[in-house]
Amino acid sequence: MPLWHFPVMTLRLLLASVFLGFGPLTTSLLLAEPPNIIFIVADDMGYADISSFGAPDIKTPNIDRIGEEGIKFTNIYAMGPECTPSRVSFLTGRYPQRVGGMECAIGTGNVGRYDDAVQLAQAGDLGLPPSHSVLAPKLKDAGYHNVIFGKWHLGYEDKFSPLDQGFDKFIGFLGGNVDYFRHEELSDIDVYLSDREILNNRKGYTTNLITQDAIKFLKESRKDPDTPFFLYLPHAAPHFPFQGPEDDDGTMPSAEDWTKGTRGTYLKMMEGLDQSVGEVLEKIEAIGIAHNTIIVFTSDHGAMKPGLNNPWRDYKGTLFEGGIRVPLLVRWPAKIAPGSTSDQVGSLMDLTKSFLEAAGAETNELNLDGEDLFTLALKGEPTVDRTLHWRAKRSPRIWSATRHGEWKWIRKDDDGHVSEWLFNLNKDPYEKDNLLERQMTPRQSATHAMLKRTHEDWEASVAPSR
């Protein structure tokens, strides 16, 4: 058939299969079968907390298998060093700063942690407004059935419910962390819900419950095999409280002990998460949908201790690499050849456009800040330089950063005490040599000025409307 006889979307996908290094595609697949999408997000997991990214003590064969049978991305960033902003970015495809009040994790009990967030919380308006959501609504418009099982952390108020943001089903918790056995947080707010109904008596370990919900959904999805689905699994693990699957002593940890944990307990939590991933992989294979199902695994940002972010500098809450560099594994047998690795710089914000493009949804009019990461990574050309910006507020501290190609600039304003760093990540990927502490070359000085100016322009461009 001549190319001009294909519909526009089919032609675009057909050309992609030629140019982008995808595996062979049949015309019937292009015409009739949008992929199912399963998006698994670990919570507070470090870059080096899975085997394939260097974990020295944790075995994660099921998570690793996603990359072995697909592609392993090594140069991916979260768009915030905490939970809420990162989740905003990949559900909107835009910088979280555009929303307003979402540059910091919403505090337990619906607490704002910097000026704008405090004001929004006082007004009962701290959360992700449905008008900003992009990923689930646009997939729904494209004919998808969307479900979420796990952590939301994008607003306690009912008006911020996932059910108003493109999801057809929600079972999970609204806040940032819950006891893994009692499913309660350290506040007086009921946070574990089934759709809009409070679940007070659910029994079991959170990771296992999320998995059970996912498996049940996958079984039921076979009743309507012609409807593609988006299954979003934002896990609690390995976020504190640090509790392994067998660690229930009948009581919740105290507030003092809530964030304390050992590497041994963390290991058990991660291996429980890996088992969960294995069960999902087994189920999609058993029901015969694995070939055209995109399955993605990542973390929402870097780990706090006892997680490991090796070899990167520092931890969650900072804009050094350890706070924002995350592993990303993608499997899509219909299109992605197994055993691939990509060093393409990208972000979790890119997944919005990547998923929508894969689903055949139109993205040109959405004004997304992210790119189609699958296209960038698989086109068989040298990696493309990216410019990415961050700002993270938690009173009295403000972190700012810009990465432009090989250069990265970081600024920390700690209640008026300002520190700055400039790194060449090609020469110094572990951020040990702050060029601002030495006599810089003219090129380095010009780069420093350019990065600061570029960041200021970006801040002006993402000013929120509320």
Distance CA 421, CA 433 (A): 9
CB 117 within 8 A of CB 183: no
Catalytic residue (one of 104, 132, 145, 153): 153
Catalytic residue (one of 83, 132, 235, 239): 83
Nearest-10 Cα torsion for 437, 103, 211, 263: 30
CB 128 within 8 A of CB 160: yes
The tokens for 182 are 């009692």
Distance CA 359, CA 136 (A): 11
The tokens for 193 are 């819900």
Burial 329-354 (b: 16+ CB within 10 A, else e): bbbbbbbbeeebebebbbbbbbbbbb
Residue 310 DSSP symbol: T
Neighbours of 283 (CB within 10 A): 19
CB 308 within 8 A of CB 55: yes
The residue type of 384 is V
Distance CA 44, CA 82 (A): 8
104 catalytic? Reply is: no
First and final C-alpha spacing in the chain: 52
153 catalytic? Reply is: yes
Active-site residues, by number, are 83, 153
